[in-house]
Amino acid sequence: MRAPYRLFRTVLAGALLVGAAVVSAGCAAEDEPTLVVLGPWTDGEEKPFRKTLAKIGERTGRHYVYKGTRSLRETLVAQLRTDAPPDVAILNGPGELAEYALNGDARPLEGDVEDKAVAPWAPSFPVTTTKGTETHAYWVPIRVDLKSIVWSRAGEADAGPEDAVWCLGMASGATSGWPGTDWIEDLLLQRQGHAVYEQFATGQLPWDKGPVKRAWQDWAALLATDEPANGVDSLTTHFENLGAGRYGLLKGKDCTREHQGSFIGRHYGDDVRPAPTADFVEGLPRGRNVFEVSGDMAAVFKPSDAAWELLLELTSPRTQADWVDAAGPGERPYFPSGTSGTSGTAGTTGGKAPTGASADVLRMLDGADQICVDASDAMPSTLRGAFQRAVLEFLEKPQDTVALDGLLAQLEAERLLQREPDAFVLDDLCDAPPG
């Protein structure tokens, strides 16, 4: 077992204040068990989850306090520095979660909870402690999303590239740029297949030549057929928020196609539907039937019987049904468990039939030959951040080949740091869909 890399501990002063606020929220009456759950959902997106936690509380007799933040990493690191972590944290980066596991902050799953670590979202891996080296899973996926899809209105898939305008929005708080990393990852996956994609995600391929460079060039070629200012404008365009209470880029910009994960469907009606990326990008091979996926994973940072009980509840068909019932038609979450509901497709549960768009997502997810965890989510946080920043610089002048070579050289240097003999790397990032 190679020694872990260090968890990056530098945080903004503001994050410390946020962390203190989350900790104080955990205080409750002495006779009422309270668990603090830290997660990524805010701005109304968290409402169905809060209702679901309340349902769990009715069954368990415990009180759960949910705190959502868009600065999830900064907040959690601040709490860990002050030795005041949440009981459970929900994060979307396996690479970041692995750092917490390797540092002893995230705890190995115990008992029946370990059976809920569904591949490829939650791999088992060895961690060396004072007791020796043990192999465990450390988190469970509680909600998943399908990527490698493009959203458009009826008939748009048949439009030629000269008639297409891509919706591009890169702004997303501290993690701006991730919609662009999704583009690079997906283009590589669709052109090269899942085996090469997994080599890329685990740091085995150089950035400055070969398949990885080809993916950047593919994106540059696609942008060359788009509106000239689209790339630069995307740097200050939010990935979903149009302002004035309006959400969804297809509703606001003069664009016709949006490359975005299945979660974006909550902003659209059934006139907007998803289809595989290869249906919309010329030159990509058809029929690979491979998809990138992301997930929201729950890990225990303050172990207790109540915390393990909560993870079992969050992954149970009963809780999934509650979550579906609490969500609006377009907000319906997707699950990795393969439980079936009214539609008979994997990932569905509860009494509500999925919308047409949701049914499309479920059909693609269930019928995929391979699904692969978001590559940048699995990378070490330093490389992930460098990747996001490189996307933003690239979009300033996407046709400048010299500038691209410089960016890829910087990313290659960062990759080599992560490939040192004592560096830890997650693997097994692709698998057949569960169920």
Please check whether residues 282 and 202 belong to one and the same domain.
yes
- Regarding whether 165 and 114 lie in a shared domain, the answer is no
Residue 143's nearest CA partner among 267, 40, 291 is: 40
Same domain as 212, residue 83: no
Residue the block writes with tokens 């992560």? 418
Residue 63 lies in a domain: yes
Same domain for 172 and 188?
yes
Q: Is 181 in the same domain as 277?
A: yes
- The pLDDT, as a whole number, for residue 328 is 85
Number of domains in the chain: 2
Distance of CA 38 to the CA centre of its chain: 16
- Ranges of residues in the chain with a pLDDT under 70 are 1-33, 157, 159-162, 337-352
Pair 113, 230 in one domain = no
Q: Is 412 exposed, middle or buried (0-12, 13-18, 19+ CB in 10 A)?
A: middle
User: DSSP assignment, residue 36?
Assistant: E
Three-state secondary structure call for residue 291:
strand
Do 134 and 150 reside in the same domain of the chain?
Answer: no
What is the token pair recorded at 309?
Answer: 């009980």
Task: Please indicate, yes or no, if residue 273 is contained in any of the structural domains.
Answer: yes
Which residue in 139, 120, 127 sits closest to 301, CA to CA?
139
Cβ–Cβ contacts within 10 Å for residue 403, how many? 14
79 inside domain: yes
Enter the tokens of residue 325: 């019932």
Q: Which long-range contacts (CB under 8 A, 24 or more apart) does 266-270 make?
A: 266/45, 266/328, 266/330, 266/331, 267/240, 267/330, 268/151, 268/330, 268/357, 269/330, 270/355, 270/356, 270/357
In this structure, is residue 347 part of a structural domain? no
* Residue 353: per-residue pLDDT: 73
DSSP string for residues in 61-119: --EEEEEE-S-HHHHHHHHHHTT---SEEEES-HHHHHHHHHTTSSPPP-GGGGGG--T
Rg (CA), the chain: 21
Q: What is the DSSP letter of 233?
A: H
CA angle 85/87/93 to nearest 5° reads 75
163 and 130 belong to one structural domain: no
Alpha carbons 147 and 145: distance in angstroms, whole number? 7
In a domain, 420, yes or no: yes
Domain for residue 47, yes or no?
Answer: yes
CATH assignment of the domain containing 245: 3.40.190.10
pLDDT at position 368, please?
96
pLDDT the model gives residue 10: 36
Domain annotation covers residue 355: no
- My answer on whether 186 and 282 are in the same domain is yes
Q: Indicate whether 211 and 283 sit together in one domain.
A: yes
Q: Residues 81, 51: contact at Cβ < 8 Å?
A: no
Whole-structure pTM value = 0.88
Tokens of 85: 């972590």
Give the structural domain span for 169: 145-291+373-431
pLDDT tens digits, 153-191: 987 767 666 678 999 999 998 789 999 999 999 999 999
- Co-location of 216 and 136 in the same domain: no
Query: How far apart, in whole angstroms, are the C-alpha atoms of residue 147 and residue 389?
Result: 21
Measure the CA–CA gap between 282 and 208, rounded to whole angstroms.
23
Query: What angle separates helix 401-418 from helix 381-396, to the nearest 10 degrees?
Result: 180
The verdict on 128 and 29 lying in the same domain is yes
pLDDT of residue 32: 60
